[in-house]
Amino acid sequence: MKKFFLALAALLPLTLSAQQPVILHSHNDYNRTAPFWEAYSQHCRSIEADVFLHEGTLLVGHEIEDLKPENSLLRMYVDPIVRTFRANGGRMWKGSEDRLMLLVELKSATEPTLTEVIGLLEEFPDVFCSPEGVQVAITGNVPSKEHFRDYPAWVGFDGDIRDIYTPAQLERVALVSNSFRMFAKKWNGKGRMIDPELDAVKAAIEKVHSWGKPIRFWEAPEGTTAYFTFWKMGVDIINTDKPAVASLFFSDWGNKNFIMGKHQVQAGVTGTKKLDAATRDFSGFQNEKLQLTKRIPTYTPTYKNDGSSKKIKNVIFLIGDGMGLNQIVAGAYANNRDLSILKMKSIGIQFYNPQDDFIGDSASGGSALATGELSWTRHIASNHDGSVEYPSLADYFKEMGKATGVVSLGDIADATPAVFYGHTSERDSTDRITRYMLTSKVDLICGSGRDYFEDPRADGIDMVSGTRDNGYTYITDALKVNETPGKVICLDNRMGRYATEETLSFLADITKASIEKLSQESRKGFFLMVEGAKIDYAGHSDCFPASVIEQLGFDLAVAEALKFADANGETLVVVTADHETGGLTLLDGDLESGHILAVYNSDDHTPTVVPVFAYGPGSREFMGTYMNIEIPRTIKKLVTK
């Protein structure tokens, strides 16, 4: 039995590290526009051919009246398989060790039909008769189990769960196939199976697996819920009449699933080329690192001053870049429906359509959030031609004598942080944005981007000397911003890296240190903007596990803001996004294991609305539905000069 399981493991890589976590069986393949090729192109590792021995020729078709002389087994399946296998140097797919199973259903009399099939395939021994070649399995009019040994060892047979096999007979069983309706007559693939049917299906799977065999159900429903249910239950070979749909569902499986706790993931890096100039050097998400062994702690506010009319001294503005409602909900599901952000009771909805397009970007969305002025795509806190510079909330509060800070868990010259200190009609004008930063009045500017300033060709910062005549002290450790008095620019390249379990609290720790610094800088209070940048990166990269982890890291930062607001009593906390990225859709999951299945419908921004959360004095002013420009306008109204 151990020997068999080793062979089975080679055929069925049932882990998240596989290209697909299951084998897809292309049922009735011959009925499609391009038989074999449609299934092959979708990496279906099991392909079916219904075969009649008709007038001495093996013909493919479902019924005898459907047979056509040109639709021979040789032309439709054997020839293309042989050409492909040999062209790829002895494998079916380039760069993959996956084997193909050719499931031949005998529709005519067993003995003569099977003898003819074996004779045909033996003409190509390197392809069909080798342990490394295409696996051949016989279904339909299968010979009796007592006669399995009468046929070549390279021929396998389709088993039946109702049968009883000797160990020798089981060795010749390649898979076990039965009608799904034997076990579940009512389920149509939507919602949950009723318990008796669910138990019957589970028992069938367990029985076949106890034999050491893969199981396939025919007459099974299809669709998102059905596919995920079968995968979760351990069905090894999923029957499909829609290979393109099923293959798309299971493709890139590791990037569609997050499971709380250590689990096998696909190797490699999920990167993106969709980022802008300031972040184009992002190294991507290392897939093996996108795991958490335990849920994060959350903070429950006291609500003592929430919604009160008490004077507001401080404002903490947290922006999750690309953070739509589903990004938040995914993080909550992974964390047993528990996030600090969801404990904020004043909730609104904002639209973020720019002036010149339907869908906004970080520049237009961020500019509107920073300035309260209508925005244009790619513009940084300026009008349509860049001739008018719009003052930001940082400018507003600086004029009030308050300390100000801009913190980004990304490149400090990227759009979202830039809108709080810079102005330009093109977000990729990072040199100009940087010059604004160097002459800014903002007390604390913190993010990644150190490499640029160490480039001797750039009109940047000498990181060695530490200070310059513009009044800033330059440091490279974001966790020490509270140890450096006066104006600080911190360029810490760790802030440009993706979050891991080891670094998950990094943004929260920086947020805490920044609050400590700014609260000490001015008795009149402070304004702090904190950006969680890589929720957006994950959306552009179609990397759902990264989205969950970045969201949870952002939530830890929200918790630090809420803790300070409760301790201080005069602090307003506002949390929102500049836009949503990826059109994230949650499909299924499991609360107990923290498993979420989700797909992105785009690799770019979408026009869906995003939530606004507020806590502290004046928080109820943010309830309702409005344009993004109303958020900074409301903040200004609440904290008047």
**Rounded distance, CA 96 to CA 569, Å?**
60
DSSP strand pairing (173-179 vs 403-411): unpaired
Which one has a higher pLDDT value, 554 or 450?
Answer: 554
Report pTM: 0.91
Over the stretch 206-220, which tens digit does the pLDDT of each residue have?
999 999 999 999 999
- Round to whole Å and give the CA distance between 14 and 302: 47
Cα(374)–Cα(352) distance, integer angstroms: 10
pLDDT band at 467 (very low <50, low <70, confident <90, very high): low
What pLDDT is attached to residue 198? Answer: 98
The pLDDT, as a whole number, for residue 32 is: 84
pLDDT category, 30, cuts 50, 70, 90?
A: confident
Give the pairing of strands 571-576 and 314-320: parallel
Q: In the predicted model, is pLDDT for residue 269 greater than 70?
A: yes
C-alpha distances (whole Å) from 634 to each of 1, 237, 349, 393 are 70, 56, 14, 11
- Rounded CA-CA distance 251/233 in Å is 18
What CA–CA distance (Å, rounded) separates 380 from 368?
Answer: 9
Mean pLDDT of the chain: 93
What was the pLDDT predicted at 83?
Answer: 97
- Answer whether residue 559 shows pLDDT above 60: yes
Gap between the Cα atoms of 168 and 171, Å rounded: 5
- 461 pLDDT above the threshold of 60: no
Average pLDDT over residues 319-344: 98
Residue 457 banded pLDDT, cuts 50, 70, 90: very low
What are 230's two structure tokens?
């079968």
User: What's the pLDDT at 274?
Assistant: 64
| Whole-number Å distance between alpha carbons of 489 and 441 | 11
In tens, the pLDDT along 483-509 reads: 999 999 999 999 999 999 999 999 999
Query: Which tokens is 122 given?
Result: 């033996």
Q: What is the pLDDT of residue 66?
A: 86
- Residues 285/269, Cβ–Cβ less than 8 Å: yes
Per the DSSP assignment, residues forming a β-bridge with 23 are 237
SS3 589: strand
Instruction: Give the span between the Cα atoms of 48 and 101, in whole angstroms.
Output: 9
Q: Look at residue 13 and tell me whether its pLDDT is greater than 70.
A: no
pLDDT over 90 at 17, yes or no: no
Task: Give the pLDDT of residue 390.
Answer: 97
Q: What is the model's pLDDT at position 3?
A: 36
Let me know: does 538 contact 326? Beta carbons within 8 Å: no
| Average pLDDT score over residue span 393-418 | 97
Average pLDDT over residues 194-203: 98
The backbone torsions φ and ψ at residue 166, rounded to the nearest 5 degrees and listed phi first, read -75, 165
Query: Residue 404: which of 571, 522, 560 has the closest Cα?
Result: 522
Could you identify the residue written with the tokens 């702090």? 528
Q: Per-residue pLDDT for 594 more than 70?
A: yes
Better-predicted residue by pLDDT, 158 or 1: 158
d(CA 527, CA 636): 11
Whole-angstrom Cα distance, residue 475 to residue 491?
7
pLDDT over 80 (residue 45): yes
Model pLDDT, residue 641: 62
Band of residue 264 on the pLDDT scale cut at 50, 70, 90: confident
CA distance readout (Å), 362 to 32, 140, 377, 381, 495? 45, 58, 8, 11, 18
Render pLDDT for 441-455 as a digit per residue (tens, 0 to 9): 999 999 998 876 665
Reply yes or no on whether the pLDDT at 456 is more than 70. Answer: no
Predicted pLDDT of residue 311: 96
